[in-house]
Amino acid sequence: MEKTDSKELKKQLFSTKKNGYDKIAREELPLMESYCRDYMAYLDAGKTERLCAAETIRLAEKAGYRPYVRGMEIKTGDKLYVCNRGKAVMLAHIGEKSLAEGVQIAAAHIDAPRLDLKPNPLYEESEMAFFKTHYYGGIRKYQWVTIPLELHGVVALKDGTSVQVNIGADNGDPKLIITDLLPHLGQEQSKKPLGSAIPAETLNLLLGSRPMGDEDDSSRVKLAVMKLLHDKYGIVEDDFTSAELEAVPAMNACDIGLDRSMIGAYGHDDRVCGYAALRALLDLEQAPVKTAVCMLADKEEIGSDGVTGMQSAAFDTFMEDLCEAQNVALRVCYENSFCLSADVTAAYDPDFAEVYERRNAAFVNYGIGLCKYTGARGKSGASDADAETVAYVRRLFDDASVIWQIAELGKVDMGGGGTVAMYMANRNINTLDAGVPVLSMHAPYETVSKLDCYETYKGMKAVYLAEK
| Sites of contact with Mn ion (CB under 5 A) | 269-270, 343
Nearer to Mn ion, 107 or 221 (CB): 107
Other CB atoms within 10 A of residue 15 CB: 7
**Which amino acid makes up residue 118?**
K
Residue, CB closest to Mn ion: 270
Cβ of residue 268: shortest distance to Mn ion, in angstroms? 9
Nearer to Mn ion, 186 or 303 (CB): 303
Q: What per-residue string of b and e applies to 140-156 under the rule 16 or more CB within 10 Å gives b? A: ebebbbebebbbbbbbe
Nearer to Mn ion, 246 or 270 (CB): 270
Cβ of residue 438: shortest distance to Mn ion, in angstroms? 9
Nearer to Mn ion, 244 or 270 (CB): 270
d(CA 387, CA 402): 19
Cβ of residue 288: shortest distance to Mn ion, in angstroms? 26
Nearer to Mn ion, 78 or 270 (CB): 270
Cα–chain center distance at 150: 19
Cβ of residue 230: shortest distance to Mn ion, in angstroms? 36
206, β-bridge pairs? 130, 177
Q: 3-class SS at 93?
A: strand
Cβ of residue 19: shortest distance to Mn ion, in angstroms? 25
Cβ of residue 443: shortest distance to Mn ion, in angstroms? 11
Cβ of residue 348: shortest distance to Mn ion, in angstroms? 18
Nearer to Mn ion, 90 or 438 (CB): 438
**Which amino acid makes up residue 105?**
I
Sign of CA dihedral 346, 133, 240, 223: negative
Nearer to Mn ion, 44 or 343 (CB): 343
> Longest C-alpha distance within the chain, in Å?
101
Closest CA to 74 of 56, 99, 57: 99
CA dihedral 281, 287, 292, 294 (to 10 degrees): 30
Cα–chain center distance at 16: 30
